[in-house]
Amino acid sequence: MQEPQTAVTSAQCYCGAVKLLIAAGAKSVIHCHCGQCRRLSGSAFTTWVSFPKLAMELTGQESVAEYNATTNVKRHFCRSCGSHVYTLDSRAPEIVGVPAGAIEGELPKQPKAHYFVSHKAAWHSICDPLRQFGGELGFEPTAASQETPSK
């Protein structure tokens, strides 16, 4: 009898000095519109893919720099090219967040929602049917989310 295959996702920085291999399926994929994610990505939002931290294998550790973004959040970047490679949050120590742009190939899942939409860039319009959450903490259902059926 053949054993089921484990999903493997790879990600890397721009220059390839830091690489991730994640031997587990993604837990979730979301779009975050908070100011920190917008500044971090230089875009209207960051798309995050969450994986079990224990499934992550890191190569190029010597090229990784850390930045304490908040008391809970630690961002990890490549020292050579500056690419953001992954994030850890002490409130969810079993999870690693990987920016979708660092992932090689297709995303393991489709995005399920937009968060922190109350903080979104004024020049950006959300035009997809995904659920939307906002408010000060970023997780309260919005009127748009109430109108849109859950996927």
Using pLDDT thresholds of 50, 70 and 90, give the confidence band for residue 1. Answer: low
62-90 in b/e form (b: 16+ CB < 10 A) is ebbeeeeeeeeeebbbbeeeebbbbbbee
Q: What CATH number should be reported for the domain holding residue 84?
A: 2.170.150.70
> Is 4 contained in some domain?
no
> Is 1 contained in some domain?
no
Using pLDDT thresholds of 50, 70 and 90, give the confidence band for residue 4. Answer: low
> Is 36 contained in some domain?
yes
**Helix, strand, coil % in the chain, rounded to nearest 5:** 15, 35, 45
> Is 122 contained in some domain?
yes
> Is 135 contained in some domain?
yes
> Is 93 contained in some domain?
yes
What's the whole-model pTM score? 0.88
> Is 2 contained in some domain?
no
> Is 143 contained in some domain?
yes
Using pLDDT thresholds of 50, 70 and 90, give the confidence band for residue 148. Answer: very low
pLDDT single digits (tens) 18-53: 999 999 999 999 999 999 999 999 999 999 999 999
- Confidence (pLDDT) at 143: 76
What residues make up the domain containing 126? 9-147
Kindly report the CA angle at 68 between 104 and 24, in degrees rounded to 5?
35
Structural domains counted in the chain: 1
pLDDT single digits (tens) 5-21: 567 999 999 999 999 99
Q: Which of 81, 83, 127 is nearest to 101 (CA)?
A: 83
